[in-house]
Amino acid sequence: MARQQETEQQETGQQAIDWSFFSMARYLLTADPADGSMLPGDAWDGFLERLAEAGRLVAGGPLPRAPVDRASAYRGLLQLLCFGMERTLGSADPARPVFSRPWPVHLFDYGAGNPDAVYRTASLRDDVTYRISGTLGNAAFMSFEFFDGQTQAGSLLARDLRPDASGRFEILLGPAERAGHWLQVVPGTSYLLSREFFGDWAAAEPSVLRIDCLDEPPAPWPVMSADRVSKELHALGTWLTETVRVFANAQAREIRQFANEWDPHVSRPAGDLPAIHHAYWDLRPGQCLLIETRVPDGGYWGIQLANGLWNTLDFANRQTSLNGAQAHVDPDGMFRAVIAHADPGVANWLDTLGHQQGSVHLRLLRSGARAPAGTPTRPRPVRSLAETRDDWMAGWAGEEPSGPPANGSGYPAPAARVVALDDLAGLLPAGTPRVTRAQRRRVLDERLRQVTRLQRS
């Protein structure tokens, strides 16, 4: 596949589509607006072949063969397909842009999306000027991140937007300087991703965002053309197979090295985004994984589970995630959670949904990095988004660690150990909160209500 993509790139002069969905947006920008030809029949056939290839990767690849894991992987294909369709067919015209609806991460997910997040996207061009405006909400963390395909092309934190006391802001982004709060975009920029992380789902108030294109684009953007539809089919099929390949291989590689323990490397420890620790479980019936970590004082943190394709496990109907507002932290400042197939009766249970294997993702943000609306923190003195670039995705899909060791990173190094469920009670501190079956049901009912509210914003 890599050789095929390289050949396509040489023939078309375009960068090949990879596992990052950001690369699809850039590829679609190359569609010929004047193309009036008939869509070739083999365009659809090629899409179907790539779907079949993705299925073969699940059936014959390195993913676990346990019944629930295998069913989850095939369902993950459907999740990825739906996610990719919205990023292509549902992608708004960059000359008449709108922010997407919040991602329904519990249904259609990519790359272990954060259950605490409201994600929104918009397609961009690098040759026009945009105005982004609105009112910031009460997220513990908020950012805009820009992409040129897989390459990060800059970022803005909430404080960089220079919000007033009510949270209102306006910023201009484009190739040529404009009056007002203007920043220069990086050539090649084609996509914008906004992130808002919330601890208290019930009290969450997502930002109200608007994006407008202030320039007349150099050429019209057709709703339909043979070249556009052909590129959509090619982009979606190629991205799907590469995503399955990358995440399945990454999961298998990490399970071999770090089964039932934390990867000693931490992702993004010095960047603008929360740092991430990754762990991987491989549990038999009667076993559980006891997680222990110190959490930041006053900063955002959250932990979640995902399957072998890094599809976030259903967190609306099951407790597969916890954050600082939901979890119990022991008096010694330690967060202790139990990853198990069956409910052990403790409040900090993370439900595997029966998956034999999966991945754990712990996001941490120091309290000093937090900048919700109204906080009088100083914006970064930059005039170009190039000054904020942090290409944290570079090399992510490779074989080498993607970050420095946790020790010395400034973030706590979490611990994990496999224990028998029958021995769990004697290993937890006195005073560990317990829950009954009825109490668990009430917690799950409330999770569903809160997730539904948050993702309708």
The mean pLDDT value for 255-275 works out to 89
- What CA–CA distance (Å, rounded) separates 184 from 127? 11
CATH of the domain at 410: 2.60.120
218-251 pLDDT tens trace? 666 667 889 999 999 999 999 999 999 999 999 9
Element holding 71 (H helix, E strand): helix 67-88
Q: Would residue 425 count as lying in a domain?
A: yes
Q: Would residue 108 count as lying in a domain?
A: no
What range does the domain containing 404 cover? 259-454
Q: Would residue 328 count as lying in a domain?
A: yes
| Helix (H/G/I), strand (E/B), else coil: 319 | coil
Would you say residue 16 has pLDDT above 90? Answer: no
- What CA–CA distance (Å, rounded) separates 193 from 144? 6
Half-sphere exposure of 265 (CA within 13 A, CB side): 11
- What CA–CA distance (Å, rounded) separates 245 from 9? 20
| Amino acid 407: pLDDT | 58
Strand partners, 323: 302
More confident: 351 or 107 = 351
Q: Would residue 270 count as lying in a domain?
A: yes
Sheet holding 117-123: strands in order across?
117-123, 191-197, 141-148, 151-157
Number of structural domains the chain divides into: 1
Element holding 288 (H helix, E strand): strand 287-294
User: E strands of 102-203, at which residues?
Assistant: 117-123, 130-135, 141-148, 151-157, 168-174, 182-184, 191-197
Q: Would residue 428 count as lying in a domain?
A: yes
Question: Would you tell me how many other CB atoms lie within 10 Å of the CB of residue 333?
Answer: 11
Strand partners, 151: 148
| Amino acid 402: pLDDT | 57
Model confidence, pTM: 0.92
Q: Would residue 201 count as lying in a domain?
A: no
Q: Would residue 353 count as lying in a domain?
A: yes
Q: Would residue 157 count as lying in a domain?
A: no
The single-letter DSSP state of residue 8 is H
> Among residues of the chain, what percentage have pLDDT more than 90?
73
Sheet holding 334-340: strands in order across?
349-351, 334-340, 287-294, 415-420
How far, CA to CA in Å, does 330 sit from each of 213, 301, 335, 421?
50, 15, 6, 20
Read off the tokens for 217: 């684009």
Strand partners, 405: 265
362-417 pLDDT tens trace? 999 876 544 444 454 688 888 999 999 988 877 666 655 556 665 556 778 899 99
Task: Give alpha helix (H) positions in 99-183.
Answer: none
Q: Using pLDDT thresholds of 50, 70 and 90, give the confidence band for residue 281.
A: very high
